[in-house]
Structure 1
Amino acid sequence: MIRILVVDDEPAMREGLTDNLLFEGYLVDNACDGKSALQKLNETHYDLMVLDVMMPEVSGFDVCKQLRNANNPIPIILLTAKGEEIDRVLGLEFGADDYISKPFSVRELIARIKAILRRTQHYKHDSTPRQFERIGQMDVDFKSYEAKIGHETIKLSHREFEVLHFLWDHRQQIVSRDDLLKNIWGYDEFPTTRTIDNFILRLRQKIETNPNDPKIILTVHGMGYKLL
């Protein structure tokens, strides 16, 4: 069964989300702070995490950064109380897959959870034979969300895979930042194209032999990016 970790320092929010997700048929654990969340993630496999941003000591941003720095690809939906642009931008730059601002509709959150799980579980259980594409120094199988350099497995977040997949499908073409935002996130209210630049930077660090002199994902100034 699908197991979800809910992390929030507000007991009412934590318990309410846990009850609603249990009602949907998920296995649910919860944590009251970022430190406890990281401990649980070290001990148990989770298919998705709902993570509050504003927590004492270890914030949701800190949890997100630590997981992505450790190449942990767990899908993360951030909860932000402020709803300010900077919060949404930082969350996505730190590797979150989605965000939702408080107060929010539980139905909307569950719909977003189901959308992410449909995508990730499909790739996890797909029995189609692996087909790796060589992109720079990395081999990528977009069906299984697997990537490797030589025999070493490289972990990318689901958003990184999606951005790379879109560029691959449009290789040798100029892809604008707005194209990526519209086709990957699909939110009209998405705050800025700066986040795309950060995703490209992280992809270059994994794909390019020399990320400071990219040869695979090129910047077309004033227009966007081109994957060769």
Structure 2
Amino acid sequence: MDKKYNLILVEDDASLGYLLSEYLGMKGFVVTWAKNGQEALLKTETNVFDLAILDVMLPDMDGFELSQKIKGINPELPFIFLTARSLKIDVLKGFSLGAVDYLKKPIDEEELVVRINALLARLVTETEEVPQLSHYEIGDYTLNTENFELRYKGEIVKLTGKEFDLLALLAMNQNQLCTHKEILTTIWDKNDYFNKKSLNVFISHLRKHLGRDPRLSIVNVNRRGFMLRVEEK
């Protein structure tokens, strides 16, 4: 991570707040931890943050109310809700108030980091218009991200939407591991058993689509994830 992103974490549970702030700090983020809504508002008034992570259940005000007060201070600050409540109406309320993501407790720290990085990358792309590659060379194949086509020596290889998204993620990380969690949270928005089964099916499809070039392989790396391996000529 080149830039040190500043996060404000609002969590009244001392154990979870300490755990998340330490873990995020180890991952390269600068974390300010507030234990209640009023403390969070004071810190938001005196500091510039890139992202707010808000617990819904706080002692002095709920996270929904806090998010609206933070918007009054910094309308552009994106926020993620953390909650132990799993009611669909709460999730919908969070998104209706402008949340960019919503994670249910117990929090998986690794998944939280993946989601934060994905969100910050998306926000940077939207605000700074970071140029993206329009195509990727994958051996004798070309993946065009503007017209959503995979071509083999000029011939179009038909892909479904999910197949294209999955191949694009692997192509962006050629010869590097993409973990199951990274793939599932990016493509399916949820890391669970059923989506992992679907992922294995889509990997099988992509192996067939890429089968014309013997230098290409999608490798299962120690049950941790997949790698698009491209051997040199």
Q: Taking structure 1 as the reference length, what is the TM-score of the superposition?
A: 0.53
* Counterparts of 1:3 and 1:71, CA distance in 2: 14
Stretch deviating more after TM superposition (7-16 or 54-63): 54-63
Contact 2:5/2:29, CA 8 A, preserved across alignment = yes
1:105 equivalent in alignment to 2:114: no
Contact 1:88/1:99, CA 8 A, preserved across alignment = yes
Decide which of 22, 46, 49 is 2:49's aligned counterpart.
Answer: 46
1:31 equivalent in alignment to 2:34: yes
* Counterparts of 1:68 and 1:92, CA distance in 2: 14
For 1:22, the aligned partner's letter is G
Distance 1:27 1:71, change over 3 A: closer
Equivalent residue, structure 2, for 1:14: 17
Equivalent residue, structure 2, for 1:82: 85
* Counterparts of 2:66 and 2:29, CA distance in 1: 22
Instruction: Write the deviation string for residues 133-192 of structure 1: whole angstroms up to 9, x where unpaired.
Output: xxxxxxxxxxxxxxxxxxxxxxxxxxxxxxxxxxxxxxxxxxxxxxxxxxxx9658xxxx
Contact 2:44/2:70, CA 8 A, preserved across alignment = no
Contact 1:68/1:94, CA 8 A, preserved across alignment = no
How many residues were matched structurally? 133
For 1:65, the aligned partner's letter is Q
Structure 1 residue runs without a partner (length 5+): 129-184, 189-228
Distance 1:46 1:187, change over 3 A: same
For 2:102, the aligned partner's letter is Y
Runs of at least 4 residues off by over 6 Å: none
* Counterparts of 2:36 and 2:28, CA distance in 1: 24
* Counterparts of 1:71 and 1:2, CA distance in 2: 16
* Counterparts of 2:130 and 2:87, CA distance in 1: 42
Contact 1:75/1:116, CA 8 A, preserved across alignment = no
Instruction: Write the deviation string for residues 36-87 of structure 1: whole angstroms up to 9, x where unpaired.
Output: 1111111100001111000112211111122335561211010011111121
* Counterparts of 1:28 and 1:47, CA distance in 2: 10
Q: Taking structure 2 as the reference length, what is the TM-score of the superposition?
A: 0.52
Decide which of 57, 62, 75 is 2:60's aligned counterpart.
Answer: 57
Please state how far the C-alpha of 1:26 moved relative to its aligned partner: 0.8
Greater RCO, 1 or 2 (C-alpha within 8 Å, sep 6+): 1
Please state how far the C-alpha of 1:126 moved relative to its aligned partner: 4.0
Counting only pairs closer than 5 Å after superposition, residues 1-228 of structure 1 correspond to structure 2 as 1-69=4-72, 72-126=75-129, 187=189
Q: Indicate the structure (1 or 2) with the bigger Cα radius of gyration.
A: 2
* Counterparts of 1:117 and 1:40, CA distance in 2: 21
* Counterparts of 2:64 and 2:47, CA distance in 1: 21
Distance 1:39 1:70, change over 3 A: closer
* Counterparts of 1:70 and 1:24, CA distance in 2: 27
3-state DSSP of counterpart to 1:5: strand
